[in-house]
Amino acid sequence: MTIKKPLAKDGDSFSGFVPEDIDAVSSCFSDFEEIAEGTYCVVLKAKKLGRWYAVKALKPQFRESMQHKALLRKEYTLLATLHSPYVVKVYDFQDISGYGTCIVMEWIDGVTLKTYITPPSQPMPDRATPKVLS
């Protein structure tokens, strides 16, 4: 007994999904955008394989420092042990061209913690402020 498989014609796909431009989906990080900056690190938003990631890299002046590389490695090791819905997932610790050794984390679209906890610049109207009676 022979099972005949349907033959795909050039350009056809059995899944129905054929990327218009196969080169547009790259296995390298691209579209870097700086999100935050710390004392010795910078956090970037970057795209890889069509998904966004948060990438934490050492600033250029610290990329060759063994001490700072060790701090970044320790942070990666600690984050990798945490499993909580309140902490981003850590995917990898790798060298990224132009940025050196980096921590690759999930990207969560939204406001930063700093923005979230910063009080509004304008005070609330009096009618919305609760009155405390003595």
**Does the pTM of the predicted model rise above 0.85?**
no
Radius of gyration of the chain (CA): 23
CA separation, residue 19 to residues 28, 34, 49 (Å):
17, 29, 12
Q: DSSP letter at 35?
A: E
| pLDDT tens by residue, the chain, 134 residues | 555 555 555 555 555 555 555 555 556 999 999 999 999 999 999 999 989 999 999 999 999 999 999 999 999 999 999 999 989 999 999 999 999 999 999 999 888 777 888 887 766 555 555 555 54
Taking 3-state DSSP, the helix, strand and coil percentages for the chain, each rounded to the nearest 5, stand at 20, 30, 50
- What structural domains does the chain harbor? 24-108 (3.30.200.20)
Specify the 3-state DSSP secondary structure of 57: strand
CA–CA dist 16, 117 (Å, integer): 46
CA–CA dist 35, 42 (Å, integer): 8
